[in-house]
Structure 1
Amino acid sequence: MDISNLFLENNAFSDADNIICSGHEEQHENYFGAVSPPIIQTSLFVQKNYQAYCDDMQHEAERFIYSRGLNPTVQMVEEKLARLERGEACRCFASGMGAISAVLMANLSSNDHIILVNNIYGPTMALIKLMAKKFGIHYSVVLDGNLESIANAIHATTRMIYVESPGTMTMNVVDLAAIARLASAHNITTAIDNTWATPLFQKPLTLGFDIVIHSCTKYLGGHSDLIAGAVVTSHERMIAIRDFSHQLLGAVLSPFAAWLLLRGLRTLPVRMQRHQENVVQVIEYLKTRPEVENIRHPSLADAAQRAIIRKQMFGFSGLFSFEIRDGGFATVKTFIDSCQLFKVGCSWGGYESLIISPNRGYNEPALAADNIAPGLIRLSIGQESPAMLIADLDTAFAALSAR
């Protein structure tokens, strides 16, 4: 797929610039005209008298009382993220898993059924399995993302369809608008982990999805120095998430982390353009390597997936995977350990390039169940020079040949 003009065609940059760089949420006049809003690092806000306190407690969701509920610095980020995703309301959390657990806990009860579509983030699957064991939640997994397969998995007790697109490790893309229509016809809530695409490259709420989740730790923060999560949805749906999962479970974002996230958002458009430009060059290099097969990135999608991508995506991030032909754990280990510029690390979305594999040497049967090849390697392409990244990969391939 020719992606060179995808940003310009869909106006992703100008839209984000308007929201991210706008002072709409930042209220500079309240902070002596400071261009960078201050960190309101406080646990509580005092009221002028007791009657004012009593009045505020009746409107706890909208008033500054205690920073577990509302904090001005956190609120700035929440309002920007809501606008970026075309949502009505956003709540930020202390981690991506805090956001994911908030959505699941607020929307599922004992004996409810959830359908998980595509390859889902590992800790999310672990949480679902724990909820099944402890709370009686039922679940089905639809790896192929096919609409007919999803329809066949629907039960009378199905309450949620939870999606990742592109999917974890495999990068499979599914038709979000079609899934949203199917769910709506059965009165089923839809939720998506949109971390890979960011709000710049995919806006699921505009395609009919009900809830969008982000690990802000990744591209939205962009500097590998914060842990954060976000949920964007309608005002109505946010009530249950806020009252139960945000307030009572308490995994809320700190003001300092919110300030770091706000800083990261300033450069999101330029960073995402660089990630896309870099990943294209690295993929072109990998295409020339005889040791490589099945490069998994949406820019290389087949005709059916390209049609879906054109409808719902505005660009591509720098996370992808590829398979080493006939690779196993020893091959994967040699390749990864031979890289110097690519660092071994479990996260992604920062300025640095990272490399890992889901193959741990003891879990190949589990990988096979998830349709993941034992020779799969995941790369997060950072902000470094593509020539340097390619040279590093060249060294790793040479190490394989020398074995």
Structure 2
Amino acid sequence: PVVPPIYQTSTFKFKDADHGARLFRGEEFGYIYTRMGNPTIEAMEDAVAELEQGAKAIGCASGMAAVNLVFLALTSQGDHVICSNTVYGPTTSYLSQLLSRFGVETTFVDTSNLEEVESAFRSNTKVVFFETPGNPTLSVTDIQKISEMAHSRGAKVVVDNTFMSPILQQPLVLGADIVMHSMTKFLNGHADVVAGIVVLKTLEEYQQFRKISNLVGGVIDPFNAFLVHRGIKTLEIRMQKHCENALAIAKYLEEHPKVERVWYPFLPSHPHYELSKKQTKGGGGVISFELKGGLESGKMVMNNVRVWQLAVSLGGVESLIQHPASMTHSSMSKELRLQAGITDGLVRLSVGIEDVDDLIWGLEQGLKFA
């Protein structure tokens, strides 16, 4: 078929008893049970793995299920993790509040600062984990240099590539070991799926991760895999429009008299502009900005914008506006938020693919009240 069908089944029939036994022994390829593998899911996994230049991938029930799989596979009691202080709020909480209960310690640093990363390494550091650009401040981490630094100390590098997608950035090519995504965002692109994925560089690592995935569950279901696979077909043209719109809006905001500062990787004013141009093919579809009037002005803008929708998440065809400190990153302590530059006045935009003039007009309606 032109479109892979949806195998909406929990289990698969064996040819005979010996066939089933061979599958369970791993002597023959085939499908047993959807938690362990499914043709619809595998078609989507292979598409993402190919885009990321990886060997194989494992689809997960959510982005956080992918985070959980990564750390269950790579860490044990007594290990140490270095994590960027600008990652998705629940990732920070998972490491500091949950994984810590099992004897894994995490040091949160500014991974855009190579000296700070270097000083955080310990003899038991097993993983360096970061998003780049960071969430929500859009700080940019040098994937190649961090990978060289980590590998010289025997640590793995895991990059959450959700904000860029493989269309704009390929961390495995730049030296990272593992890539993950919340496929809820740009990969699916239509705000109607919750899903994640982990992309492995080697078949050996894939087998290791697959065994753990089979034990803990948290896998994507066939219908959501079908929707993500369909979304990926338009990923490249969507990312082009996201980038085009976001750059125009970032320039508009930077010139606005009520805006204190704008963070967007492809603005020349961004502190990591040169690295962004070198490492990625576009600035992405996310902008953060701070208003001169602080939090109260931000609330007025969010409550009065037109076209934009006040909602969390990002990466869909529709444009969203939200307040990280009280929403996506509210699970972080205020100390960690401020350390990461997530102030109470910060506003995050997920720029969709609507007409850019409509989007600027919609923002202007809110900014009148700032």
The answer on 1:384 being equivalent to 2:357 is no
Q: Normalising to structure 2: TM-score of the pair?
A: 0.94
Q: Confirm or deny: 8 A CA contact 2:315 2:350 kept in the other structure.
A: yes
SS of residue paired to 1:248: helix
Aligned residues: 365
> CA deviation digits over 1:9-62, x for unaligned, max 9?
xxxxxxxxxxxxxxxxxxxxxxxxx32221011111111110111011111894
Q: Confirm or deny: 8 A CA contact 1:92 1:228 kept in the other structure.
A: yes
Q: Confirm or deny: 8 A CA contact 2:183 2:197 kept in the other structure.
A: yes
Residue of 265, 277, 302 corresponding to 1:336: 302
Residue of 285, 299, 308 corresponding to 2:252: 285
Provide closer, same or farther for how the CA distance between residues 241 and 217 of structure 1 changes in structure 2, counting only shifts above 3 A.
same
Q: Confirm or deny: 8 A CA contact 2:263 2:270 kept in the other structure.
A: no
**Structure 2 stretches lacking a partner, 5+ long:** none
Provide closer, same or farther for how the CA distance between residues 365 and 161 of structure 1 changes in structure 2, counting only shifts above 3 A.
closer
The answer on 1:115 being equivalent to 2:85 is no
Q: Who is 1:236 aligned against?
A: 204
Q: Who is 2:324 aligned against?
A: 358
Q: Confirm or deny: 8 A CA contact 1:118 1:145 kept in the other structure.
A: no
> CA deviation digits over 1:361-398, x for unaligned, max 9?
99765532322232110001112111111111111111
Matches within 5 A, 1:148-297: 148-233=115-200, 234-244=202-212, 246-297=213-264
Identity of aligned residues (%): 36
Q: Confirm or deny: 8 A CA contact 1:345 1:354 kept in the other structure.
A: yes
SS of residue paired to 1:355: strand
1:243 corresponds to which letter in structure 2?
K
Q: Confirm or deny: 8 A CA contact 1:114 1:162 kept in the other structure.
A: yes
1:224 corresponds to which letter in structure 2?
A
Instruction: Please report the RMSD computed on the Cα atoms of aligned residues, expressed in angstroms.
Output: 1.8
Provide closer, same or farther for how the CA distance between residues 68 and 308 of structure 1 changes in structure 2, counting only shifts above 3 A.
same
Q: Confirm or deny: 8 A CA contact 2:100 2:106 kept in the other structure.
A: no
SS of residue paired to 2:148: helix
Matches within 5 A, 1:7-26: none
Aligned counterparts of 1:364 and 1:131: Cα–Cα separation in 2: 18
**Structure 1 stretches lacking a partner, 5+ long:** 1-33
SS of residue paired to 2:369: helix
Q: Confirm or deny: 8 A CA contact 1:339 1:392 kept in the other structure.
A: yes
More divergent stretch after superposition (307-316 vs 264-273): 307-316
1:343 offset after TM fit, Å? Answer: 0.8
1:70 offset after TM fit, Å? Answer: 1.0
Q: Confirm or deny: 8 A CA contact 2:286 2:350 kept in the other structure.
A: yes
Q: Normalising to structure 1: TM-score of the pair?
A: 0.87
Residue of 121, 126, 130 corresponding to 2:93: 126
Q: Who is 1:77 aligned against?
A: 44
Q: Who is 1:103 aligned against?
A: 70
